[in-house]
Amino acid sequence: MQRIPALFFFLLAFLLVLPASGAIEEKVIIYQTDFSADPGWMTNNPSYYYWDVGKQAYHFQSEGGTNGYSFIPVTYDGGPFVLEYDVFIESIERDGAIRFGLTGTEMDISRGTVVLGDFGQTIYGNIMSLLVIDPNNHLYQTSSRADDYCGQLPNCYTREFALNTTYHVVIRYNDQMNQADIKVTTPDTGELVWGYFVGIGNDMHSLSRLAITTKGDYAIGNKAIGSIDNVVFSTFREVTPTPTTVPTLVPTSATPTRTPTPTPTPTESAGSHVVLVLALVAAGVILVWADRRR
């Protein structure tokens, strides 16, 4: 039997007995719309970008060379976030794309800061991408093309999106891991279409708008027409739960006077007991292993 170094077990035991944090994360919605009412987004081309009252969705006709955009300001002060939305593409021409996500005031797809979901028509087909440019203009990008996200792994192939199909997109940013990821599913079944991640070298900041944009796209005649819906932009904050106290019973005059037994206030969560058990198991493994070495 192959022996595992004792140092591994000592590290494991050390990690297991670390005190569990009492803080929990609470989701905070910064912006949300289902387009059942006019969302009031601002655009420089109202014939291309507008609220479709009939479909109760937001219509887009993105086209390179037009410098077109539509956006809504959001208050984001850094930290982790999640952006969710539905996208429906009716038609798309060669090199066309719908790019939606978080941007700075420039809303330029060629420089930071941006975190965008990109559905585009390329020489490889209808490809889904995650495009991230940090404040120092470093580009981090992945796509559903096989060579981009899985290389030479077996059973790996390029994933494409279809026209006239609704997709649910989730883009997440984790500031602790310096990582962003994207997941594309079908809303009706929840089936995963494609998803992957990118590592990011710098903290993301200066993100202040939710935007559809073609700024920085200089191709001509590359229209993409469709709509987006059900936009939710959220962040997280740590909340320390307030400990609950058990009220002490006070005897009434009709009952013989008796000193009530105080109810102890819990000082450990159930999770801390699990941690202790796991630590003991790890310690036992260390002892057995050490004994076999003698």
Task: Tell me the pLDDT tens digit for each residue of 184-194.
Answer: 999 989 999 99
Task: Tell me the pLDDT tens digit for each residue of 233-257.
Answer: 999 877 777 666 555 555 554 444 4
Is 147 found in the same domain as 189? yes
CA distances from 275 to 8, 10, 36 (A): 17, 15, 48
Distance of CA 27 to the CA centre of its chain: 12
Is 283 found in the same domain as 155? no
Task: Tell me the pLDDT tens digit for each residue of 12-50.
Answer: 333 333 443 455 888 999 999 999 999 999 999 999 999
Q: Is the pTM of this model over 0.85?
A: no
Beta carbons within 10 angstroms of residue 159's beta carbon: 21
**Per-residue pLDDT for 7 more than 80?**
no
pLDDT the model gives residue 237: 78
pLDDT the model gives residue 20: 39
pLDDT the model gives residue 275: 42
**Per-residue pLDDT for 281 more than 90?**
no
Is 58 found in the same domain as 16? no
Is 63 found in the same domain as 90? yes
Is 223 found in the same domain as 171? yes
Is 288 found in the same domain as 186? no
Element (H, E) at 147: helix 146-149
**Domain count of the fold of the chain:** 2
Segment 267-289 shows an average pLDDT of 44
Burial code (b: 16+ CB inside 10 Å, e: under 16) for 118-146 equals bbbbeeeebbbbbbbbbeeeeebebbbbe
Tell me if 112 sits within 8 A of 188, measured CB to CB: no
Domain hosting residue 92, numbered range? 24-239
pLDDT-derived band at 173 (thresholds 50, 70, 90) equals very high
pLDDT the model gives residue 182: 98
The residue assigned the tokens 């208050």 is 75
Output DSSP code: residue 133.
E
Segment 226-230 shows an average pLDDT of 98
pLDDT the model gives residue 89: 98
Is 83 found in the same domain as 44? yes
pLDDT the model gives residue 272: 40
Is 217 found in the same domain as 104? yes
pLDDT the model gives residue 152: 80
**Per-residue pLDDT for 106 more than 60?**
yes
Segment 109-117 shows an average pLDDT of 95
What is the CATH classification number for the domain harbouring 47? 2.60.120.200
**Per-residue pLDDT for 126 more than 60?**
yes
Strands (E) across 104-220 are located at 114-122, 125-133, 139-143, 166-174, 179-185, 192-199, 209-213
Is 1 found in the same domain as 30? no
Token pair in block for residue 172: 């997440």
pLDDT the model gives residue 29: 96
